[in-house]
Amino acid sequence: MTASPVGPSFHTMWKELAPIGRDTRTGGYRRHAWTGADADCRTWFQEQAETRGLAYETDRNGNQWAWLGDPTAGNAVVTGSHLDSVPDGGAFDGPLGVVSAFAALDELRLRGAAFRRPVGIVNFGDEEGARFGLACTGSRLTAGVLTREAAYRLQDADGVTLPEAMENAGYDPEAIGPDPVRLSRIGAFVELHIEQGRALDLSGDRIGLASAIWPHGRWRFDFAGEANHAGTTRITDRRDPMLGFAATVLAARRAAEDTGAVATFGRVAVEPNGVNAIPSLVRGWLDARAADPQVLDEVVAAVESAARERAAHDRVEVTLVRESFTPVVEFAHALRDELAGLLGGSVPVLGTGAGHDAGILSGSVPTAMLFVRNPTGVSHSPAESASEDDCTAGVLALADVLEGLACG
């Protein structure tokens, strides 16, 4: 996308964000929580707030807020998303929601909108969980579904803990924890997001509304065997943990195919990671999701049983840790119906397998999501895309929604 939807502001913002954390080799983004790229995104957000004369604040969990009106008045209408990325992520997952939020506010000011409710724009910290392994850390802490103690135990691949990383980035980790007062001031939260699938492309619509988020989680499988020489250890003497891991990956695929769930091993760590050594440890992370919570349980149970069976055969120890779990989310029906009315009534309603801060907030606040068409459905990849016209439609839809909710 190159030219400007909705006046110059969207295009300018998009260009400013484009180089931050971008790998020039792949074109993908690495904007991981509390790194330099994340700090640059945060500075950018603060500048956007200040240029527009919005009141800027960072909450106790490092989420950023920009306010038009006084949030302490309550019943605020909040929109926004996240600016962090997965490893080698696309430009749209997250930033589209934040940039569209500022552009929608610009559009409403051009329309001369008179606001009756405070309006907030938020950038939630560490939505993707790319560094510390847990998605939606900022919103989970604020909503109280992640405890401070559990957050303090989070570590990145180099052993840096979340509080250390926050402190290194100039934030006070002592402050982190639930923020019910802040949440109680929000009357509605609307997150705009690129669609991470092809439903809108198939139906020929630019914009959709979210119905629900599938239950999903992350499970870590550790296969512990015995390191030994790749050339001299007889096959029958080996305790090779790679075999259990391989069987487990295939079992995950089979379980997904059998049930309509999705199951992915996208990350693996091998020790000692030498070409000519049988590994001592293979650690793999399963991401599994399904529309039905019971099906998800069955998929994980089937994968675990395959792991244990193969590990026993190879005299390998296997341990399974559930690192995170997000139950099914049903977005507020009344708010969704209100948005459908504001958007003209014929907007498709879609379920999704992707996690979002909106899903975390929906436990405390009436919450809705707007999806913008993604022509290939590709996401969490540099190939993620949306057309300029569809981004414009997204900004205008968000402006209509904010106007209806905050000015009507």
Binding partner selected for residue 156 from Mn ion, ligand GLV, none, CB under the kind-specific 5 to 8 Å limit:
none
Report in angstroms how near the CB of residue 96 gets to ligand GLV at its nearest.
13
Q: Contact between 377 and Mn ion (CB under 5 A)?
A: no
Smallest gap from Cβ 82 to ligand GLV, in A, equals 9
Query: What is the rounded distance in angstroms from the CA atom of residue 302 to the CA atom of residue 227?
Result: 28
Q: Which tokens is 229 given?
A: 């020489």
107 is in an annotated binding site: no
Residue 216 labelled as part of a binding site: no
Residues 344-373, interacting with Mn ion (CB under 5 A): 355
When binding is defined by CB under 6 A, the residue of 38, 107, 126, 128 that contacts ligand GLV is 128
CB of 185 to ligand GLV, least distance (A): 26
When CB distances are held under 5 to 8 angstroms depending on the partner's kind, the choice from ligand GLV, Mn ion, none that residue 94 binds is Mn ion
28 binds ligand GLV (CB under 6 A): no
Closest CA to 371 of 349, 341, 396, 342: 349
Burial of 19 (0-12, 13-18, 19+ CB in 10 A): exposed
Shortest separation between residue 386's beta carbon and Mn ion, angstroms: 13
276 is in an annotated binding site: yes
Which residues partner with 161 through β-bridges?
A: 155
CB of 86 to ligand GLV, least distance (A): 7
Give the CA dihedral 385, 390, 394, 397, nearest 10 degrees: -160
**Is 380 marked within a binding site?**
yes
Say whether 229 counts as a known binding-site residue: no
By CB under 6 A, the count of residues binding ligand GLV is 4
Q: How far is the CB of 262 from Mn ion (least distance, A)?
A: 14
6, 66, 105, 135: which one binds ligand GLV (CB under 6 A): 135
172 labeled binding residue: no
Residue 333 is assigned to a ligand binding site = no
Over the window 30 to 59, marking each residue x when it contacts ligand GLV by CB under 6 A and - when it does not, the resulting string is ------------------------------
Contact residue for Mn ion among 28, 62, 80, 94 (CB under 5 A): 94
Question: Which residue, among 319, 287, 34, has the nearest Cα to 156 in the 3D structure?
Answer: 34
Among 38, 59, 84, 93, binds Mn ion (CB under 5 A): 93
Please report how close the Cβ of residue 331 comes to ligand GLV at its closest, in angstroms.
15
296 binds, among ligand GLV, Mn ion, none (CB under 5 to 8 A by kind): none
Give dist(CA 352, CA 360) in Å, integer: 14
If binding is defined by CB under 5 A, does position 138 make contact with Mn ion? no
Residues 351-370 vs ligand GLV: string with x where CB under 6 A? ---xx---------------
Q: Of 243, 264, 250, which Cα lies nearest the Cα of 312?
A: 243
Q: How far is the CB of 258 from ligand GLV (least distance, A)?
A: 22
Minimal CB distance residue for ligand GLV: 355
- Binding site feature residues for allantoate: 218, 276, 289
- Binding site feature residues for Zn(2+): 82, 93, 128, 193, 380
- Binding site feature residues: 82, 93, 128, 193, 218, 276, 289, 380
Binding site for ligand GLV (CB under 6 A): 128, 135, 354-355
